Amino acid sequence: MTLTASETNELKLPPIMEGVLPVIHQRWSPRSFTDRDVDQADLARVFEAARWAASSSNEQPWSFLVGTHNSSTHKKIFEALVPFNQTWAGKAPVLILGLARNKSGRNGAPNLYAMYDLGAASSYLTLQAAALGLSTHQMAGFDKDKARTLLEIPGDYDFGSVIALGYQGEPEALPNDQLIERETAPRERKALSEFVFSAWGEPLELG
């Protein structure tokens, strides 16, 4: 029997570390979305959160192309997705393409941290979405050349991810067993000792 959305959320919840913002533990990346529209005020809130991400030299190099259901932008972003992502992402009421200007707005020099900054802004976006009861799923699987052509994106902008945003649906609404199995699988993360070091390869001793 397939787990419900509520049961899946319980399964995905990791062990809670006291003092960590609850929304960080609550956020995960479902593929099942309902077709319920997202309120424009909530969309404004998620992008307001992204607006306040830190950026190198305060360049704020990020841009987000936003497609809502039945809009031409939604259809174009969907068309650029790889077939696997098309099997589920089209139902999400909002598809967002993240972009970063790879040149400084001040002097035209290469901005080597533009993608880093876009990632920070995207993280703020996803956490704010989770705080509002919205779900997000970020995708690397799309044809960048097709997206650039369809959406007329200038050459000095590099691609981040496509983000599906909306309200979580039931796992059983997904179109095949492979997707349902992924949706309801437990979450896994590396231990802190695998990536937090006091010297290279030596785990930092943490309380």
Q: What type of residue sits at position 182?
A: R
Q: In angstroms, what CA-CA distances link 145 with 7, 87, 104, 106?
A: 39, 21, 23, 27
Beta strands in the chain (DSSP E): 62-68, 94-101, 135-139, 157-166, 197-199, 202-203
Query: Pairing state of beta strands 94-101 and 135-139?
Result: unpaired
Quick: pLDDT tens for 53-62. 999 999 999 9
What's the mean per-residue pLDDT of the chain?
Answer: 97
How many domains does one find in the chain? Answer: 1
pTM to 2 decimal places: 0.96
Q: Which own/partner pairs from 3-7 qualify as long-range (CB within 8 Å, at least 24 positions apart)? A: 3/171, 3/184, 4/170, 4/171, 5/30, 5/32, 5/168, 5/169, 5/170, 5/171
Distance CA 47, CA 53 (A): 10
Beta bridge partners, 95, equal 67, 164
Domain residues for 123?
Answer: 5-203
Quick: pLDDT tens for 118-157. 999 999 999 999 999 999 999 999 999 999 999 999 999 9
CATH number for the domain that contains residue 67: 3.40.109.10
Distance CA 178, CA 69 (A): 26
Q: What angle do CA 169, 174, 180 make, to 5 degrees?
A: 100
Token pair belonging to 89: 């992402």
pLDDT category of residue 4 using cuts at 50, 70 and 90: very high
Token pair belonging to 67: 């497609």
Beta bridge partners, 67, equal 95
Percent of the chain with pLDDT over 90: 98
Query: Pairing state of beta strands 197-199 and 202-203?
Result: antiparallel
Q: What type of residue sits at position 140?
A: A
